[in-house]
Amino acid sequence: MAETTSFEKTYTIGGDLEVNRMGFGAMRITGEGIWGPPKDKEEAIRVLQRSVELGINFIDTADSYGPNVSEELIAEALYPYPKNLVIATKGGLTRTGPNVWPINADPDYLQKALEGSLKRLKQDRIDLYQLHRIDPEVPYEKTLEFLQRVQEEGLVKHIGLSEVSVEEIKKAQEYFEVVSVQNKYSVDFRKWEDELQYCREQDMAFIPWNPINAGNVGALNKLQEIGKKYDASAHQIALSWLLHHADNILLIPGTSKVKHLEENYKAASISLTEEDVQELNKLEQSEK
């Protein structure tokens, strides 16, 4: 039988926040189009509570999910929070309707967004606050100065970025320690490979959003083929590959159903063979 590989089960964000690498993304516990309340609020609450029961201690959210709804549900379901639970949130996107995400990283807006997140999450300080997007209408330095200031004020412990290049990360590092980068990334979408490698070198967490893209048919076929060997779905194999691919990757698959949550979590217990990892590494890198 082919030899299986192993991977680290935990990662320490910023040198002091140890989390399990299988986390939970709380975007999907809102309404359709990530707008308004969920169709089944009780199920959304159960999803959050079950995630903690499973051992998940890293939850990623944003003020724009709902907007506000995701953060409010997290507090309703889990407050007072378990001691080791890390809640990461984001600011920098506004909402004008379902599936519409205007960018606003103006410091005055971000100040209100951060204050709102603190209030909704019932926290005095955000463990990991992430800039959701760089705003082309606002000088990047102004946004970075804001993040630097709120960290100095103790409102946020650590700072992360999202959808950024290596150069944009380096620019932010002139203002504060960047501990995480959240870019779109999956087994069949690897546009940000250089950014992932830079994060590894800098000891930053890399948090792929849309981690089970499986956007092209070739990728899906290969994932399903490999999945049969492990009695696993294509999505579970896609998640498992990410855990094997780089030890600084934190996973945040999202769902509004307990059943799907449990299925996603099982991916953390799949040990792929080196041969299967290499097969997955060859998948076409294409954006769909």
CA 278, CA 255: separation in Å to the nearest integer? 29
- 77 contacts 45 by C-beta, under 8 angstroms: yes
265 is catalytic: no
Catalytic residue among 65, 129, 175, 230: 65
Phi, psi for residue 124 in degrees, rounded to 5 = -90, -20
Q: What is the DSSP string of 33-80?
A: TSBSS-S-HHHHHHHHHHHHHHT--EEE--TTTBTTHHHHHHHHHHPS
CA 95, CA 92: separation in Å to the nearest integer? 10
Alpha-carbon distances, residue 230 vs 63, 185, 194, 236, 256 (angstroms): 38, 23, 30, 10, 25
3-state helix, strand, coil in the chain (%, to 5): 40, 20, 40
CA 143, CA 92: separation in Å to the nearest integer? 10
What size, in residues, is the chain?
Answer: 288
Return the active site residues. 65
